[in-house]
Chain A
Amino acid sequence: MCLAVPHTIETILGENRALAAAGAVRTEIRTDLVENVVPGDTVLVHAGFAIEKLSPEDSEELKGLWDELRALAGDPYAR
């Protein structure tokens, strides 16, 4: 039960409500579960609620993990 889609916050509409965009979709989301979101933030949205803020460092971290894996794969006797 975990379909969640990254959304970019466009406008804060009021307490716990914001207008956000996911790709070409624009939708109102709830922000009850996250702190201090501002326009421009990227959040993960599940069932209409932002559940966490996403950071631009994410793609860096994932790249790092893949690099770690490739290094391991290149050395089959890694211990």
Chain B
Amino acid sequence: MNDTTITLGHGSGGRQSADLVSRLLESFRKRGIGPELEDAALLPGGYAMTMDGFTVSPRRFPGGDIGHLCVCGCANDLAVRGASPDFLGLSLVLEEGISPEEVAFYMESAASTCAGIGMTLAAGDTKVVPAGAVEGMLITGCAFGRIRSPRTLSMAEIREGDALLVTTSIGRHGAAIASARFSLPVEGLLSDCAPLWPALSPLLRLDGLRCMRDCTRGGLGTVLCEWAEASGLHFFLDEDSIPVSFQVKSLCDVLGFDPLYMACEGCAALAVAPSDAEEALRILRQSPLCGDAALIGRVSSAEPKGMVSMRTSIGGERLVDMPWGEILPRIC
């Protein structure tokens, strides 16, 4: 990584973010005390742990707010590693001048979400910083949960022939945020921000469940690229199979965005043995959150290895790469 300053591009979840994280983790890795790169870490003793910080702006968006988002983000990181969302620690960094009512609103929202999934707030911290040091507030969650999965779910488990699934239509959170940020109201567009544990936990009994991942920043495209790169296999997607809602498609058309890279907050990617793909879809579709779950591709040993490609709507083929830096509206 050659960059001399951190830029917004480093936070966007694509190639630049991956490079930044690598550089920051070097010191730990070289001492043998560095983390795996999965959403949550599996700790000795049967617990999983995750951390996630939230700086979303605007703090209230169609379909949610930063409090709800924080709980879902952390809970979903645990859920995709087969751990139930049991305990949460919250750190709030508040900008001088923000209204206490506003912060209380987000806490109410977070608490309501926790209660809905059986998560308990176990620890917290609040700091106030001078005006200008942060934009409104930062909230960081640290979550712990008991590992319920009988086997280790990890990208190391992905094999040739595996089916690639997605739990719902993609990009709704990113589109909802963009809609607010660029003042483009979209009827019926809500963030997909939701806790996934209830929908995903019934999948844990499937022997062929290899791994799951919460899509977040950088969207489905980034997750699949990271998996392909880590596994050294080729991922081949079918463009027509990837569920995209009419609202997300409309917004992406107008701003020139690609739904594959739009953030999600209630959407998971799954790799499943081919023999379990149908059953996994059937289980997912029983959840109201995953009615549009779909099989979107397969893992193969074809070239180019470590990359993702796609059969396009017109029947052609093209690569799916990670997004490069901050995603901005285009007119070209």
Contacts and interface: CB of A to CB of B under 8 A. Distances in A.
A24 B250 contact: yes
B180 to A, nearest CB: 13
Interface in A1-59: 1-3, 5, 22-27, 46-47
B90 interface: no
A25 B331 contact: no
A27 B332 CA distance: 19
B269 to A, nearest CB: 25
A28 to B, nearest CB: 9
Contacts of A26: 184-187
B254 interface: yes
Nearest to A27: B184
Interface size class of A (residues with CB under 8 A): 10 to 19
B247 interface: yes
A23 B253 contact: yes
A45 to B, nearest CB: 8
Interface of B: 179, 184-189, 246-247, 249-251, 253-254, 256, 330-332
Interface of A: 1-3, 5, 22-27, 46-47
25 contacts: A3-B256, A3-B330, A22-B253, A23-B246, A23-B250, A23-B253, A23-B254, A24-B187, A24-B188, A24-B189, A24-B247, A24-B250, A24-B251, A25-B179, A25-B184, A25-B185, A25-B186, A25-B250, A25-B251, A25-B254, A26-B185, A26-B187, A27-B254, A46-B331, A47-B331
